[in-house]
Structure 1
Amino acid sequence: MLDILYQDATLVAINKPTGLLLHRSAIDRHETRFALQLLRDQIGQRVYPVHRLDKPTSGVLVFALDRETAAQLAAAFTTGEVHKLYIAVVRGYTAEEGTIDYPLRVEPDRMTDRDARQDKGPQTALTDYRRLAGVELPVRVDRYPSSRYSLIETAPRTGRKHQIRRHMKHIAHPIVGDTTYGKSRHNRLFLERFGSTRLLLHARSLAFHHPATVQALTITAPLDEAFGNVLKQLGWYEMIGRGSTPHQPLPGAQTPPATHPP
């Protein structure tokens, strides 16, 4: 059963577990379980995806329950009216806070993005981040006698594919557990020392104006046991916890407008 975080007559949000695809993908042809079908069967009605989460990323995933709401929510994501907040563990000590302004090229999925142009140039991509904590482990991984890691919260202002993962790699602070953009030696350390087998990236919360009521709505997803155990061992768990926390925008991050746009 999927963990339903919020549901009303027009939309539903789940806490997507790591390893679950949103829908079918040419890259993962062997997969037979998808969030779209599981949620449809669980609530007994059709659902419409309005945004994406990568397969290894956990956290808040919103679906509309009708076409009109789907169009409104999809537009809100596209125009930056949805504030997205993620939690991640990355290699090294990041700056206390910053904004990554680095255009990204389109990386289309052969099945779901088959109509996307392959020759598009880089697209604007902005990601705000803030370091919450850091730790230095007495373990040699690279050329240094110890290894440093940071707990960060990050808020992408744009919605490019794998944006946070690619941006953190770009500034030399890849996310731990990332088998595509990360460092295998650091991934191995977290596996051996903390038993971590997942990408340490979690979609913590989404904040937006409800398309039907126009009221501000924040949906927060608790960490799963695996991510929580890593944070406990690093002494960071109490900074995040498992329950809801107030939605605190990062410096420079876009937040929902005071009134619903026309």
Structure 2
Amino acid sequence: MSETLSIIYRDEYMVAINKPGGLLVHRSEIDRHETRFAVQLLRDQIGQTVYPVHRLDKPTSGVLLFALSPDIARYLGDLFTRHALTKTYVALVRGFAPAQGIIDHPLTEELDKYTDKKARTDKPAQTAVTHFSTLAQIEFPFSIDKYPCTRYSLVQCTPHSGRKHQIRRHMKHISHPIIGDAKHGKGIHNRFFHEQFACPGLMLAATELGFTHPVSHTPVVISAPISAAFTRIVQTFSWANTLPSHWLTTQDI
């Protein structure tokens, strides 16, 4: 039986799925042994060609939008290029993050050794801005790292630029790396969540995408619930009331 993706929005012009963590958007030299790709799975599921208009990192879950024609793909792609839309993410991070803040920290381009072999390595850092607010916090009275107590925060992030791994790199920049981030996080905390809470993946989810419809020109807001594992953490830490109910997975977890 073929894998079925969760479709969270569909009309005659576009379709959106709730991409599970661990799924590549399309075939890539970055992971040459992977056989599952959102583009092919969705195409086979709905029986027509789909055109990805943006990307989510492989370990990131959440709203992933596709156009159903080249013209709509160009329109939507332009929105992402101009940042003429709103993207909302939820992340679980190490430490007590500030109540809110703006991370204005330019990022140099992260190059992949396979796909960016011919790319310039001397490009200047690009402007990158992320707004964040802290939704909840928790402290454990034991030491995991170098501090006597261990603290974590649930944060909501809104990137105002689209740099590669922007939220992951920005949260690391302010010393609050995302739990489960193998590249930008800290292994001791990642292992703690894996062992104590059966939480093996990246705790970063694209929960909402808002933009103007390409044909009706009316506002569109597409929401995706966080994963069952992420929801279980939120409930275990008594944080469920800090998120909209439709951002939580309601099935058996």
**TM-score, length-scaled by structure 2:** 0.93
Q: Which amino acid aligns with 1:90?
A: V
Give 1:107's match in structure 2, choosing from 101, 104, 110.
110
Structure 1 unmatched runs, 5+: 246-262
* Residue number in structure 2 paired with 1:258: none
Q: Equivalents in 2 of 1:130, 1:243: separation in Å?
A: 19
Alignment of 1:1-262 (within 5 A): 1-110=4-113, 116-240=119-243, 242-243=245-246
Quote the Cα distance in structure 2 between the aligned partners of 1:116 and 1:135.
Answer: 43
Shift of 1:210: 0.6
Post-superposition shift, 1:119? 2.5
Give the aligned CA root-mean-square deviation in angstroms: 1.5
CA distance in 2, matches of 1:23, 1:91: 31
Secondary structure at the counterpart of residue 38 of structure 1: helix
Q: Secondary structure at the match of 1:243?
A: helix
State percent identity of aligned pairs.
53
2-side partners of 1:9 and 1:180: how far apart? 38
Q: Is contact 2:207–2:247 with CA below 8 Å preserved after alignment?
A: no
Q: CA deviation at 1:21?
A: 0.4
State how many pairs are aligned. 245
- 1:143 Cα deviation (Å)? 1.7
Stretch of structure 1 that moved more, 90-99 or 105-114: 105-114
8 A Cα contact 1:87 1:154, kept in partner: yes
Does the 8 A contact of 1:52 with 1:61 survive in 2?
yes
Q: What whole-Å deviation, never above 9, does each CA across 1:144-176 have from its counterpart, x for those lacking one? A: 221011000000000000000000001100000
Residues 190-225 of structure 1, C-alpha deviations (whole Å, 9 max, x = no match): 112211101000000000001111000000001121
**8 A Cα contact 2:18 2:61, kept in partner:** yes
Kept in 2: contact 1:2–1:39 (CA 8 A) = yes
Q: Distance in 2 between matches of 1:172 and 1:59?
A: 24
Go from structure 1 to structure 2 and tell me whether the alpha carbon gap of 1:114 and 1:72 turns closer, same or farther (over 3 Å shift).
farther
Aligned residue in 2 for 1:256: none
Determine if contact 1:60/1:219 at 8 Å carries over to the other structure: yes
CA shift in 2, pair 1:206/1:113, >3 Å: farther
CA distance in 2, matches of 1:190, 1:244: 21
2:26 partner letter: H
Is the contact made by 2:67 and 2:73 (CA closer than 8 Å) also made in structure 1?
yes
* Stretch deviating more after TM superposition (125-134 or 224-233): 224-233
Aligned equivalents of 2:119, 2:241: Cα separation in 1:
43
Task: Give the whole-Å Cα distance in 1 for the aligned partners of 2:81 and 2:75.
Answer: 10
Contact 1:223 1:241 in 2 (8 A): no
C-alpha displacement of 1:78: 1.2
- Whether the 8 Å CA contact 1:177–1:198 is kept in 2: the answer is yes
CA offsets 1:15-45 (integer angstroms, 9 cap, x no match): 0000000011222111000001000111111
- Contact 1:222 1:241 (8 Å CA) reproduced: no
